[in-house]
A and B are shown apart, each in its own frame.
Chain A
Amino acid sequence: MEFYFALATLFGFRILLGLSAYVVILTGQISMAQAGFYALGAYTAGAATALWGWPIVPAVLLGAIVGAVFGFLVGFPALRVRGLFLVIATLAFTEIVRMVFLNLKYTIRVGDRTIGPAAAEGFRGITYYFENGWSSLQIAGFTWLFVLAVLLAFWLMDRSRAGVVLRAVGEDELAASSVGINLTAAKVSAMTLGGLVAGLAGALYAHYATYLSQEEFGVLLASFAVAYPLIGGTGSVLGPIAGVLFFSLLIDGLRFLGDWRNLLFGVLIVAMMNVRPHGIIDVRLVRRLAALLRPAPKRAYAGD
C-alpha cells in the first residue's frame, strides 16, 4: 500500500506542475519558468519549516505566494516577448534560479546536523512530516487536498468568463484585444497563477523529498512541465492529468523492457504528436463530448 500512496503523492506533484504550465499555455504561450517557480516554492517552504520552525500549512502557502510573486515579476518582461522568445527568456529564468541555489549558503546547526541550503551540497533536513510522524497516507491525502482544490478552481475558471478570456488571448491576440480584452492583464494573471501553482507544487515536494538539490530543477523539469499539458491536451483541466498518466504509465509501465524503455519513451512522444498533435484531450474532443451530453434538439438549432 505504501508504494501506491507514494505514487499518488508523486502524481500529485506532477499534476500540479502540469496545471501550472497549462494555465500559461491557455494564453498561447510556452513558459519554461515553471521549474524555477517550483524550485523557489520548494526552497522557501523548506526553509520555513526546517529553519524558521513554521507549521506546514503556512509554509506551503508561503511557497505558493513566493511562486506567484515571481510569476508576476517574470510576467511583465514576458509581455515584451512572445512565442519562442518567451520560451528562451523563461528558460533563462529557470537556469538563473538554479544558479542562485547552486551558490546560496544559509545553514544552521541543529544538534550534530547541518540544516539548510548548503550551496552545491543541496538543502538537507526538511523533516517536518517525519518529525510529526505523518504516515504516507496522510502525506498523500494532504498533497491531494491541494491538487483537488487547484483542479476544482481551474475547472470553475474554465467555465467562467476568465477562462474564455485566457483562451481568446491564446487563439488570436489581435482579435482578443479588438473586443476589449486587456492582453497585459490576461497574460500577467496567467503567469502569476502559473507561478502560484508551481510554487505550491514545489513547496509540497520539498517536504516529501526532505532533500533538495538544484540539479533537479533544470531544463528537464521545465520540459516535463510543458510536456504534460501538450501531450495531454489543453481542451480541459483533465488534459494535464492525461499527460501525467501518459508519461508516468510509460515510465513505470514499460519497465519490463529494461534499458530500452528510455529509447521508446522519446519515440512514443514523437508518435503521439503525429497522431494527436493537439494532445489527447483537445478542444475538439471536449466539444464533441459536450455535444453528446447535451440534449439532442439543441444541435438542430446549430445550423451547420
Chain B
Amino acid sequence: MTDLAIDVVQQLLNGFLFGSSYALIGIGFTMIFGVMDKLNLAFAVTGLAGAYTGLLLFHLTRGPFILVFLMAVAAAGLIGLVIELACFRWMPRDYPLAPLMATMGMLFFVDEVVSHATHGRPMAFPAPMGQVMMDVGPWLVRGDLGFMFLVSLAVMGALWALVYKTRLGLATRAVSQQPVAAQLCGIGLTRVNAAVFIITGMVGGVAGTLIGSAVGNLSPLLSLPLTVKGLVTAVLGGLGSIPGAIVAGLLLGIVEYEALYFFGIGYRDMVTYLLLFAFLVFRPGGLFGQRVGR
C-alpha cells in the first residue's frame, strides 16, 4: 500500500474517533431543539464549564480520573438546570428569539466565569490513557481517542435506552411531538424540560471531559469553536434527530482531519463550512431530518 493511502486511512481513523466528541455536543443541541423547538447557545460552554469543575476537584484532591469525570458530569447537569431556569422557563413560548438572546448572554457569562477563574490561561487536563498507542496493521490508534470513542458509544447507548425505554423518555418524546397534547395527558412540561436540560448538560459534561483529556488541556478559547462545531453537527444531522447528530459528528470529524491533511490548518474549517453550506442548500433537512427548513 502506498504511503498516501496509509496516511489517508490514518486521518480517517483519527477523524472518526475524534468525531465522537462532536457527536456528543451535537446531540445536546439537537435534543434541546427537538423538545423545545429552541436553540440553547450556551450548551457547549456548559460542557466546558463542567470539565473545568472536574479539573478544580482534581487540583484540590489529586483524585482519580473517575472522580474528575463524575464531578464534571454532575456540575454540567446542574449548570444545564440553571440555564433552563434563567433562559427558558419564564420566557414567552411563541417568541424563540428571546431565549436565543438570553442563552447568548449565558454563553458570555459562563465563558467569563471560566476565564476569570483561570486567568484566561489554558490548563493541563488529566489524561486517563497517557500516551498509549495501539497498532492496528500499519495504523496507529491513539489511546485517548479510542477511549473517547468508547465512552461516547456508552453515553449514546445510555441515551438511547433513556429515550426509548423509560417513562421519562416517553414523556420527552411526547412533548417534542405535541407539547399541548402531552400536557393534556398529564405530562408536566416544566418537569420534562428541566429533565432534558439536566440530561443534555450531563452529556455536555462528558463531552467536555473527553475533549479535555484528548486535547490535553482546557482553554476558554475552546468555547466558541465548540459551539459552532456543535451547531454544525446538529444541522448536518437534521435538527432534532439524535442518530443524525451521531452520524454527522463522525462525518464532521473525518472531513476535518482529511481537510487538515490535504489543505492544511488555514483551510480546514473552510472545507467544513462549504460542506455545511452545500447541505443547507441541497438538503436543508440534514441527513435524518424529517421537517424541512424550520
Q: Could you tell me the distance between the alpha carbons of A162 and B242 in the complex, rounded to whole angstroms? A: 41
A277 to B86, CA, bound (A): 12
> Contacts A96-B273, A263-B113 given: A269-B102 contact, CB under 8 Å?
yes
Q: Assuming A77-B281, A91-B231, A277-B91, is B276 touching A266 (CB within 8 A)?
A: no
| A230 engages B97 (CB within 8 Å) | yes
CB contacts (< 8 Å) of B115 on chain A: these are 262
B104 close to A227 (CB less than 8 A):
yes
A residues within 8 A CB of B284? 80-81, 85
Q: Does B99 contact A (CB under 8 A)?
A: yes
Identify the closest chain B residue to A220 (Cβ): B224
Number of A residues contacting the other chain (C-beta, 8 Å)?
45
The B-contacting residues of A in range 248-288, CB under 8 angstroms, are: 259-260, 262-263, 265-270, 272-274, 277-278
- Tell whether B277 is near chain A: CB-to-CB under 8 Å: yes
A95 to B99, CA, bound (A): 24
Residues of B within 8 A of A43 (CB): none
Query: Contact at B101–A227, with CB atoms within 8 Å?
Result: yes
The distance in angstroms between the C-alpha atoms of A100 and B274, with both chains bound, is 12
Set A95, A262, A274: member contacting B102, Cβ < 8 A: A274
Set B97, B99, B277: member contacting A30, Cβ < 8 A: B97
CB-based contact B39/A270 at 8 Å: no
Say whether, besides A81-B293, A219-B228, A270-B87, A230 and B101 are in contact (CB < 8 Å): yes
B92 on the A face (CB < 8 A): yes
* A89 neighbours in B (Cβ, 8 Å): 276-277, 280
Complex CA gap A302/B98 in Å reads: 30
Q: Closest approach, in angstroms, between the C-beta of A247 and any C-beta of chain B?
A: 11
Q: Is the CB of B277 within 8 A of A266?
A: no
**Does A84 touch B at the CB level, under 8 Å?**
yes
CA distance A227 to B92 in the complex (A): 18
Could you tell me the dominant secondary structure of chain B's interface residues? helix
Instruction: Check B58 for interface membership: any CB of A closer than 8 A.
Output: no
B157 to chain A, nearest CB (A): 28
In the complex, whether B59 has a CB less than 8 A from a CB of chain A is no
Quick check: B273 and A99 within 8 Å, CB to CB?
yes
Contact in complex: A95, B101 (CB < 8 Å): no
- Whether, in the assembled complex, B232 has its beta carbon less than 8 Å from a beta carbon of chain A, the answer is yes
Are the CB atoms of B270 and A266 closer together than 8 Å?
Answer: no
User: Is A93 an interface residue, CB under 8 A from the partner?
Assistant: yes
Complex Cα spacing A30 to B100, Å: 10
Is B130 among interface residues, defined by CB-CB distance under 8 A?
Answer: no
Whether the pair A265, B112 counts as a contact (CB closer than 8 A) is: yes
B92 proximity list for chain A (CB < 8 A): 277-278
Asked whether any CB of chain A lies closer than 8 Å to the CB of B107, the reply is yes
For A204-240 the 0/1 string (1 means CB < 8 A from B) is 0000000000000011100100110011000000000
Question: Once the chains bind, are B101 and A81 in contact (CB under 8 Å)?
Answer: no
Q: Which of B39, B95, B99, B232 contacts A92 (CB 8 A)?
A: B232
Q: Which residues from 21 to 59 on chain A have a C-beta closer than 8 Å to any C-beta of chain B?
A: 25, 30
A267 touches B277 (CB 8 A): no
Bound CA–CA A103/B266 (angstroms): 7
> Do A277 and B224 touch (CB < 8 A)?
no
User: Nearest CB to that of A87 among chain B residues?
Assistant: B39
Query: What are the residues of chain B within 8 A of A77 when measuring CB–CB?
Result: 277, 280-281
Contacting residues, chain B, for A267 (C-beta < 8 A): 105, 109
Q: Closest approach, in angstroms, between the C-beta of A290 and any C-beta of chain B?
A: 22
**CB interface residues, B 249-294, toward A, < 8 Å:** 266-267, 269-270, 273-274, 276-277, 280-281, 284, 293-294
Contact, CB under 8 Å: B270 / A96: yes
Q: Check A270 against B280 for contact (C-beta < 8 Å).
A: no
Interface centre among B90, B110, B270 (most CB of A within 10 A): B270
Closest to B91 in A: A277
Cβ–Cβ < 8 Å partners of B276 in chain A:
88-89, 92
Query: Which chain B residues border A81 with CB–CB below 8 Å?
Result: 280-281, 284, 293
Min CB distance B231 to A, Å, is 5
Nearest residue in A to B274 (C-beta to C-beta)? A96
Tell me which of A82, A102, A273 contacts B101 (CB under 8 A): A273
CA distance A277 to B90 in the complex (A): 10
- A268 → B minimal CB distance (Å): 7
Q: Distance in Å from the Cβ of B155 to the closest Cβ of chain A? A: 24
Interface residue B65 (Cβ < 8 Å from any Cβ of A):
no
Q: How far apart sit A87 and B235, CA to CA, in the bound complex (Å)?
A: 10
CB distance from A114 to the nearest CB of B (A): 20
- Is there a chain A Cβ closer than 8 Å to B108's Cβ? yes
> How far is A89 from B235 in the complex, measured between Cα atoms in Å?
9
Give chain B residues whose Cβ lies under 8 Å from the Cβ of A91: 228, 231
Residue of A nearest to B289 (CB): A85
**Please, could you name 26 A-B residue pairs with CB atoms under 8 Å apart, sorted by A?**
A30-B97, A30-B100, A77-B277, A81-B284, A83-B294, A85-B235, A85-B284, A89-B277, A92-B232, A93-B277, A96-B277, A99-B266, A99-B270, A103-B267, A219-B228, A226-B101, A263-B109, A263-B116, A265-B112, A266-B107, A270-B105, A270-B109, A274-B90, A274-B102, A277-B92, A278-B92
Task: Beyond the given A88-B232, A95-B273, please list 18 additional residue pairs across the A-B interface where CB-CB is below 8 A.
Answer: A25-B97, A80-B293, A81-B284, A83-B293, A84-B294, A88-B276, A91-B228, A102-B266, A103-B267, A262-B112, A262-B116, A263-B112, A265-B105, A266-B110, A269-B105, A270-B102, A270-B105, A273-B105
